[in-house]
């Protein structure tokens, strides 16, 4: 029932990507990205040197408890930095080009909402209350006169059909839409500029179960048909498995494990990931969930050595030093248990 997207609109201002299929290296390569904020009590070390790669056509889920830095990582990639940013370093390669070196203006013109777009966490009031929906969705195409008005609105109608919003909603206002519809409008807005990577930050956490499932179906369809890559950020482990080919687990601002979906959801490597999986209640098979004692460390002055040490049952004396990222099978894990590889 979803009209197959016959022709893909000509990629616009296509300076970097030479079309997803032909590129050799990974779609996205993140190296030692660091992001600190200044708060009244001191410097919050939200993202502490995260590195990973994302191949073409692969979708990545980033999971972790609240305050582990997953949203900050997404903002770092899309360079959406708040006023109180303290340090912002590292390298981000998009199809081989380091977009961290781009000037803000070039980043705005060539990357943000051209190559990478985002569906933000607070979808409920991410729509401008005083402007009609169609205008807001088509807006990115009208910037720097990338396309004319007619083609922009045609594209808007296309993405509305893809995410399943009745076309009549184009000239309605945000307050006339239900939660589910608003969320779909935000997703449509992210697709409008035909990006190659879409970051989804808790897209459905505020919605009811059926609407959430519907939106997950829509995202899966988009993933297959438009061959889009997703980075899916959520604290809900079960929902993350809906869209994940690979999984990254974050804890206290650091990447503690990066492995394939099969490995992570069946038999995760890192002790924290294991505990996390154990604490998720399952519907169909009965298993008694466990909980993790204690609380995540404060990001103002994080502890020395492994940050999960004081909550980890498998702690031993090596854990006093900070473990590097060990390669283990086709994943990586930040834990001394895997020192021998």
Partner 1 sequence: MSPTVREIIARLGKFTLIRAVLLFLAIIVAVYLTVIIANLGGQLDEIRKSQIRYEIGQRAFGNPAFRDMAPEAVAEMLNELAETEFHRLGMDRPFFPMRSFEYLWRALSLELGRAERLSSDAGSRQVRNILMERLPVTLALFGTSNLVLFFLALFAALFLSRRYGGFLDKLTIALAPSSAAPGWFYGLFLILIFGAVLRILPWGGLVDAPIPDTRLTYALSVLKHMVLPVVAIVLGALFAEIYSWRTFFLIYSSEDYVELARAKGLSSRGIDMRYVLRPVLPPILTSFLLVLITMWMGQIVLETVFHWPGLGSVFYEATQANDTPVILGVIVIYGYLLAATVFVLDFIYAIVDPRVRVGGGAVRQ
Partner 2 sequence: MCTEMARSSVGYMSEAREMENNILLSVKGLQTWFELKRWGFLHAGFVRGVDGISFELGKGEAVTVVGESGSGKTTLLRTILGLARPTAGKITFNGRRIEGQHASDLAWLRSQVGFVQQDPYGALAPFMTVDRILREPLIVHKMNEEEQEQRITEAMDEVRLIPVKDFLSKYPHMLSGGQQQRLVIARAIILHPSMIVADEPVSMLDASVRVEILELMRKIQQAHNLGVVYVTHDLSSVRYFSERVFIMYAAKMVEKTTVREVVQSPLHPYTQALLKAIPDPEPENAGRFRDIPIGEPPSLINPPEGCRFHPRCPHVIKGLCDADMPPEFEPAPDHFVECWLYQ
Q: Does 66 bind partner 2 (CB under 8 A)?
A: yes
Per DSSP, the three-state class of 31 is strand
135 phi/psi in degrees, rounded to 5? -60, -45
What is the C-alpha to C-alpha distance for residues 299 and 317, in angstroms, rounded to an integer? Answer: 23
Closest Cα to residue 153, out of 128, 132, 184, 174? Answer: 132
Site string for partner 2, 269-308 (x = CB under 8 A): ------xxx-xxxxxxxx--xxxxx-x-------------
Among 16, 135, 214, 274, binds partner 2 (CB under 8 A): 214
Give the residue with the Cβ less far from partner 2, 47 or 218: 218
276 phi/psi in degrees, rounded to 5? -60, -45
From 55-63, 123-131, 290-298, 313-321, span contacting partner 1 (CB under 8 A): 123-131
Give the residue with the Cβ less far from partner 1, 175 or 316: 175
Give the residue with the Cβ less far from partner 2, 55 or 142: 55
Among 23, 85, 143, 206, binds partner 1 (CB under 8 A): 143
Please report where in the chains the tokens 């303290």 appear, as a residue: 86
What is the C-alpha to C-alpha distance for residues 180 and 188, in angstroms, rounded to an integer? Answer: 12
Query: Which pair of structure tokens corresponds to residue 239?
Result: 């929902």
Q: Does 181 bind partner 2 (CB under 8 A)?
A: yes
**Residue 169 in contact with residue 184, Cβ under 8 Å?**
no
66 phi/psi in degrees, rounded to 5? -65, 135
Please report where in the chains the tokens 């205008």 appear, as a residue: 135
Out of partner 1, partner 2, none, what residue 182 binds, judged by CB under 5 to 8 A for its kind, is: none
Q: Does 244 bind partner 1 (CB under 8 A)?
A: no
Out of partner 2, partner 1, none, what residue 341 binds, judged by CB under 5 to 8 A for its kind, is: none
For residue 94, the cross-strand partners are: 28, 97
Q: Cβ–Cβ contacts within 10 Å for residue 327, how many?
A: 11
Among 67, 69, 90, 140, binds partner 1 (CB under 8 A): 140
Query: Which pair of structure tokens corresponds to residue 76?
Result: 């770092």
- Residues binding partner 1: what is the number (CB under 8 A)? 30
Q: Does 91 bind partner 1 (CB under 8 A)?
A: no
**Residue 332 in contact with residue 268, Cβ under 8 Å?**
no
Shortest CB 142 distance to partner 2, Å: 30
From 120-128, 257-265, 270-278, 315-323, span contacting partner 1 (CB under 8 A): 120-128
Shortest CB 251 distance to partner 2, Å: 11
Q: Does 113 bind partner 1 (CB under 8 A)?
A: yes
**Residue 119 in contact with residue 198, Cβ under 8 Å?**
yes
Residues that bind partner 2 (CB under 8 A): 59, 65-66, 164, 178, 180-181, 208-214, 216-217, 220-221, 235, 237-245, 260-262, 264-266, 275-277, 279-286, 289-293, 295
């Amino acid at each position: 029932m979803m009209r197959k997207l016959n022709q893909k609109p000509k990629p616009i201002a296509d300076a970097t990507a030479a079309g997803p299929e032909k590129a050799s290296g990974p779609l996205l390569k993140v190296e030692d990205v660091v992001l600190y904020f200044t708060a009244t009590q001191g410097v919050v070390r939200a993202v502490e040197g995260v590195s990973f790669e994302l191949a073409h056509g692969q979708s990545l889920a980033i999971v972790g408890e609240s305050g582990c830095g997953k949203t900050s990582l997404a903002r770092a990639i899309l360079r959406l930095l708040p006023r109180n940013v303290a340090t912002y370093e590292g390298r981000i390669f998009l199809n081989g080009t380091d977009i961290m070196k781009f000037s803000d203006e070039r980043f705005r013109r060539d990357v943000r909402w051209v190559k990478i777009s985002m569906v933000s966490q607070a979808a409920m009031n991410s729509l401008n209350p005083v402007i009609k929906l169609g205008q807001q969705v088509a807006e990115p195409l009208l910037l720097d006169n990338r396309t004319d008005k007619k083609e922009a609105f045609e594209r808007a109608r296309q993405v509305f059909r893809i995410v399943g919003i009745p076309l009549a909603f184009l000239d309605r206002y945000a307050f006339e839409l239900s939660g589910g519809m608003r969320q779909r409008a935000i997703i449509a807005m992210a697709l409008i500029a035909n990006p190659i990577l879409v970051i989804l930050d808790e897209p459905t956490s505020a919605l009811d179960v059926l609407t959430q499932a519907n939106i997950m179906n829509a995202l899966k369809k988009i993933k297959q048909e438009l061959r889009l890559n997703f980075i899916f950020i959520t604290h809900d482990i079960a929902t993350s498995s809906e869209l994940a080919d690979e999984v990254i687990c974050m804890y206290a601002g650091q990447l503690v494990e990066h492995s394939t979906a099969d490995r992570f959801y069946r038999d995760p490597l890192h002790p924290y990931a294991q505990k996390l999986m154990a604490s998720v209640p399952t519907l169909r098979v009965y298993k008694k969930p466990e909980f993790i004692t204690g609380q995540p460390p404060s990001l103002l002055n994080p502890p020395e050595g492994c940050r999960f040490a004081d909550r980890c049952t498998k702690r031993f004396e090596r854990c006093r030093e900070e473990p590097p990222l060990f390669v283990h099978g086709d994943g990586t894990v930040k834990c001394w248990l895997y020192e021998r590889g």
